[in-house]
């Protein structure tokens, strides 16, 4: 599958914003429209085959579906990731997140790093690319972040929430959301966020679907703790396997 780069790697200003604020909205296309259609179709296949799952529960689909490596390892995407984590890149995970019209659950405010606690030896060299497969805005429950909160460490105090109304069962306690920034994107655009940033999303109460594909990467210098990652698979996306991690080649 060919990839068209409409923007290319991040410039110095974009990298600087990511370092300071912990996020970046990439308002340019990294994939052709036909590729986005194909990715949407892949999700539809997975969902049709696993009708018991909610739309936001399709984690690590690339473990079984190698077609997703056309996106996860696309040079246009890795050129962007390289400016954040460096030239040696490991594919950490991916996740289809679909919030259906009217019923899509809220995403509690959290830090990704808090849910990976103990699985890695450091959390400052991770980036999530959130590729929009629909137009996303406040109306259909787009992601929101607290700028700069990645610099607070990535391990806040949490409290329980209702798992039926939310995508998981805990959220950051006593969070001030007054400075939150909404990630409003058009189909094919993407956001980047640091693994430690505080973020969340409202439920989708609109008449529009909200589908995204998250692609997560870490520096190959990060050590993955084997006994805390049983069954989890890692791929060398680019460069050299610097740390002594068990990696697969796509």
Decide: 240 and 224 in contact? Cβ < 8 Å.
Answer: no
User: Taking a C-beta distance cutoff of 8 angstroms, is the pair 70, 77 a contact?
Assistant: no
Is 82 a member of any domain? yes
* 74 assigned to some structural domain: yes
Predicted pLDDT of residue 18: 98
- Give CA angle at 53 (61, 33), nearest 5°: 50
Q: What is the CATH number of the domain that holds 44?
A: 2.60.120.620
Inside any domain, residue 59: yes
The pLDDT, as a whole number, for residue 120 is: 98
**Encoded tokens for 125:** 């060299």
pLDDT, residue 133, reads 98
Q: Is the dihedral of CA 137, 138, 139, 143 positive or negative?
A: positive
7 belongs to a structural domain: no
In-domain check, residue 84: yes
The pLDDT, as a whole number, for residue 22 is 98
**Residue pair 154/172 in contact by the 8 Å Cβ criterion:** no
CB-facing half-sphere around the CA of 233: CA atoms within 13 A: 12
Are 230 and 78 in contact by the 8 Å Cβ rule? The answer is: no
Please calculate the CA angle 132-138-140 and round it to the nearest 5 degrees: 65
Give the pLDDT confidence score for residue 152 in this predicted structure: 97
Predicted structure pTM score: 0.94
Domain that holds residue 70: 12-238
Q: What is the pLDDT along the chain (250 residues), one digit of tens a residue?
A: 333 445 578 999 999 999 999 999 999 999 999 999 999 999 999 999 998 888 888 999 999 999 999 999 999 999 999 999 999 999 999 999 999 999 999 999 999 999 999 999 999 999 999 999 999 999 999 999 999 999 999 999 999 989 788 888 899 999 999 999 999 999 999 999 999 999 999 999 999 999 999 999 999 999 999 999 999 999 999 999 999 899 997 7
Question: Per-residue pLDDT tens for 105-118?
Answer: 999 999 999 999 99
Q: Residue 127 falls within a domain, yes or no?
A: yes
What pLDDT was estimated at residue 5?
44
The total of structural domains in the chain comes to 1
Q: Would strands 107-110 and 199-201 be described as parallel, antiparallel, or unpaired? A: antiparallel
């Amino acid at each position: 599958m060919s990839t068209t780069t409409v923007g290319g790697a991040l410039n110095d200003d974009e990298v600087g914003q990511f370092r300071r604020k912990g996020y970046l909205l990439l308002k340019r296309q990294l994939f052709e429209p036909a590729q986005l259609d194909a990715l949407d179709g892949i999700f539809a296949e997975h969902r049709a085959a696993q009708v018991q799952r909610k739309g936001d529960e399709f984690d690590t689909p690339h473990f079984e579906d190698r077609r997703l490596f056309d996106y996860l390892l696309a040079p246009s995407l890795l050129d962007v990731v390289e400016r954040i984590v460096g030239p040696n890149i490991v594919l950490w995970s991916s996740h289809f997140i679909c919030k259906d019209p009217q019923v899509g659950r809220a995403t509690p405010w959290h830090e990704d790093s808090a849910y990976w606690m103990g699985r890695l030896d450091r959390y400052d060299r991770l980036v999530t690319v959130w590729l929009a497969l629909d137009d996303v805005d406040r109306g259909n429950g787009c992601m929101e972040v607290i700028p700069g909160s990645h610099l607070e460490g990535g391990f806040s105090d949490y409290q329980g929430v209702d798992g039926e109304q939310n995508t998981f069962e805990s959220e950051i306690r006593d969070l001030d959301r007054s400075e939150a920034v909404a990630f409003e994107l058009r189909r094919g655009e993407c956001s980047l966020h640091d693994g430690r940033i505080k973020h969340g999303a409202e439920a989708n109460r609109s008449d529009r679907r909200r589908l995204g594909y998250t692609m997560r990467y870490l520096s190959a210098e990060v050590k993955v703790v084997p006994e805390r990652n049983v069954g989890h698979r890692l791929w060398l996306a680019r460069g050299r396997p610097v740390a002594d991690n068990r990696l697969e080649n796509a």
